[in-house]
Chain A
Amino acid sequence: MNQLYQSQRAMRAMRKAAMQRGVVAILDIGTSKIACLVLRFDGTEGSRASDGVGPLAGQAGFRVIGAATTRSRGVRFGEIAAMQETELAIRTVLKTAQNMAQIRVDHVIASFSGANPRSYGLAGQVELEDQTVSEHDVARVLAACDVPDYGEGREVLHAQPVNFALDHRTGLSDPRGQIGNTLAADMHMLTVDAQAVQNLAHCIKRCDLELAGLASSAYCAGISALVEDEQELGAACIDMGGGSTGVSIFIKKHMIYADSVRMGGDHVTGDISMGLSVPMAVAERIKTFHGGVVATGMDDREMIEIGGDTGDWEHDRRTVSRAELIGIIRPRVEEILEEVRTRLDAAGFEHLPSQQIVLTGAASQIPGLDGLAARILGQRVRLGRPMRVHGLPQSVTGPGFSAAVGLCLFAAHPQDEWWDFDIPVDRYPARSLRRAVKWLRDNW
């Protein structure tokens, strides 16, 4: 636990240093593309006129000065599979973004979608020393949360307090200064495979960059694709990426659940490639130009040229009707959505007061997806696009960049996490003192 504290706190300090320098890069490492945005913080954060939501939802503190995207390499299911390849891709995208921003970036905040995220709900309770809740009491109650055994080789990625209760009043977002006897806290903890995090950290270090923060891309997509009241009332964000589909549930502006399905748009492309026996690149092109999930009578007559380069005239002049293509795409999309449905059911999504579902991510651009999703996931489905931030180029405003834009917001206004509060003194290891005593006893 202490090691986690230290590494996460080191990243926090790095983030602070980056904010002071005013330039930080955010890096969304996906299975099909890697996006990099360079942010400049210009320190206009303090000029928020009212406590309410401003025209930019209070996100006016930074500006995007560089943006680049490149085809991802060596990433499978949102995890780094071939480090050298991924390093090359990160270098490519950073070089382009730096060129556009004309500034050197030293700090990077990264997000990734895979690595088997697993959510835990933690609860803790302490008696207050004096009647008023102080920051120290908050730290104590967070430390008092009973951490489940999340297994060997896992690492905590997020640990956010989502709710505080004082005596019998619950739903407090900030209990400091209030008066009561018992303080209880609920915390949401997200763990991922430690190996994936280490691989990512190593890749970024190999590119001469400092890692200033890590986030789950499901969480980031939720921040940017859900609007304010959806986050407040309860909504699920489904980020359909290339290799994995992230699911995150928000309520009261806190993420309370995150998971990922290890299927995405690349699997659809693979199905097309296998079904029509064409290369992946051709399959990708056919999917983006002609893809769909709802077949109509018109689609039987619309023939698609598959093309080919074999030299065999018959083989190269094959055509397929759009209905057949939809027949390939639809089962896979249904499978993904069914899997998402299972995850949402497991998380108890049906108990939320509002059951809004927002589909985002590049794979959500298949025509007719919202209709299909409404049949599987529930009636309240909409397609989400990332929020507008200052200076964002038009080319990166599509739904595929929800996670990247959300990571910008995360970098500018990070949620309080466990490690932002000081460790209570009684939790410090007593070992050092005991060792000193032992040394004295042994030597005298």
Chain B
Amino acid sequence: MWPLRRAAGAPPRRDPAPSRWAYRMQRLMLTPLFRLTLRAGVPCLLVFGAGSLWLADEARRDAIAGRIAEMRAAIESRPEFRVDLMAIDGASPDLAADIREVLQLDLPATSFDLDLDAMRAQVAGLDPVKSVSLRIRPGGILQLEVQERVPAVVWRRAEGLELLDAEGHPVRPLGSRAARPDLPLIAGEGADAHVAEALDLFAAARPLWPRLRGLVRVGERRWDLVLDRGQRIMLPVAQPRRALDRVIAMDGAEDLLSRDIAAVDMRLPERPTLRLNPQAMEELHRIRRIEWGED
């Protein structure tokens, strides 16, 4: 029994049942994983995709890089970060000149460009520098505090003279021996590794100071003490200071070194040996022959 009239303007009744696809769509939308993908995955993908599409243009990338560099430069060139001066403390004038030459700073510069660690390594790499500390003081001053090596001996080598400090570290080359007559002289290969021992021996040889020429490292294992007139005191490998003390004691008692002796051989401590000069040897033989009544 259909009603004969339909209410005016009322739309025909719609079937409330969802279509097959609407039903499936609703079920899909209620699937948790799908919803998560839709809510998080798709926006992420969209943003990423749009971003990469925009950045795909070379000019845009360059523009961004240029903008960043510009901003960076603007910050770096502010007066708060500028370094105007370099102050070097504790260095002799020529060392300070050396340091300036090595660093080759183009001041004023921004403190972002200064690599303090590298500069410290560079300065510490200089021979006369024992230690150095760098910092940027307020007011735009690069402060270097240098501790210089103190030369203790002069080392003569085939290449020339060199100043060494008490630890054997080279300080600087020396033009001539006369420039530093106050320092003792050592020679021989490997002498720089035993500067401390050499200084000890020099201290022991203080009574011989006026006649002392220097120490020679022999065979890279032991010392010869060289005096004027070509005299040598050959010291043993072990306990050279004791041997030297004995020689000095003998010298004090017997006036040993003022005699015509070429070398005092202390290499075997239990058997000190004297080597005479040829004339003295002749003289000795002659005296022996006289004593023996040969002539």
Contacts and interface: CB of A to CB of B under 8 A. Distances in A.
B27 A88 contact: no
**Interface bracket on B:** 10 to 19
Interface in A280-338: 309-311
Given A309-B3, A311-B4, A92 B30 contact: no
B239 interface: no
B16 to A, nearest CB: 6
Contacts of A309: 3-5
Interface stretch (A94-102, A121-129, A236-244, A404-412): A94-102
A92 B16 contact: yes
A208 B24 contact: yes
Contact of B23 (A89, A102, A207, A311): A207
A208 B18 CA distance: 14
A104 interface: yes
Contacts of B15: 88
A371 interface: no
Nearest to B28: A104
Contacts of A116: none
B258 interface: no
Contact of B17 (A92, A99, A279, A310): A92
A70 B27 CA distance: 19
A91 interface: yes
Contacts of A104: 27, 30-32
A103 interface: yes
Contacts of B8: none
A310 B4 contact: yes
Contacts of B30: 98, 102-104
Interface in A79-111: 88-89, 91-92, 94-95, 98-99, 102-104
Interface in B135-150: none
Contacts of B20: 91
A102 B22 CA distance: 16
A370 to B, nearest CB: 34
B25 to A, nearest CB: 10
Contacts of B104: none
B26 interface: yes
Given A309-B3, A309-B5, A311-B4, A99 B26 contact: yes
A104 B18 CA distance: 16
Nearest to A278: B1
Contacts, number: 39
A88 B4 contact: no
B4 A70 contact: no
Contacts of A98: 26-27, 30
B4 A95 contact: no
A91 B23 contact: yes
Interface string B268-283: 0000000000000000
A417 to B, nearest CB: 31
A104 B28 CA distance: 8
Interface of B is mostly: loop
B17 A89 contact: yes
Interface in A238-272: none
B94 to A, nearest CB: 86
Nearest to B3: A309
Nearest to B5: A309
B1 A279 contact: yes
Interface string A205-226: 0011000000000000000000
B23 A95 contact: yes
Contacts of B5: 309, 311
A70 B16 contact: yes
B269 to A, nearest CB: 96
Contacts of A278: 1
A98 B4 CA distance: 38
B18 to A, nearest CB: 5
Contact of B26 (A70, A95, A311): A95
A102 B26 CA distance: 10
A309 B24 CA distance: 40
A92 B20 CA distance: 10
Interface in B19-45: 20, 22-24, 26-27, 30-32
A92 B18 contact: yes
Contacts of B17: 88-89, 91-92
Contacts of B22: 95
Nearest to B30: A104
Contacts of A102: 30
Interface in A99-152: 99, 102-104
B23 to A, nearest CB: 5
A254 B107 CA distance: 102
Question: What are the nearest 6 A-B pairs in CB distance?
Answer: A88-B17, A104-B30, A309-B3, A92-B17, A279-B1, A91-B23
Given A89-B17, A98-B30, A99-B26, 16 more contacts: A70-B16, A91-B17, A91-B18, A92-B16, A92-B18, A94-B23, A95-B18, A95-B22, A95-B26, A98-B27, A104-B30, A207-B23, A208-B23, A309-B4, A309-B5, A311-B4
Interface of B: 1, 3-5, 15-18, 20, 22-24, 26-27, 30-32
Interface of A: 70, 88-89, 91-92, 94-95, 98-99, 102-104, 207-208, 278-279, 309-311
15 contacts: A70-B16, A89-B17, A92-B16, A92-B18, A95-B18, A95-B23, A98-B27, A102-B30, A104-B30, A207-B23, A279-B1, A309-B5, A310-B4, A311-B4, A311-B5
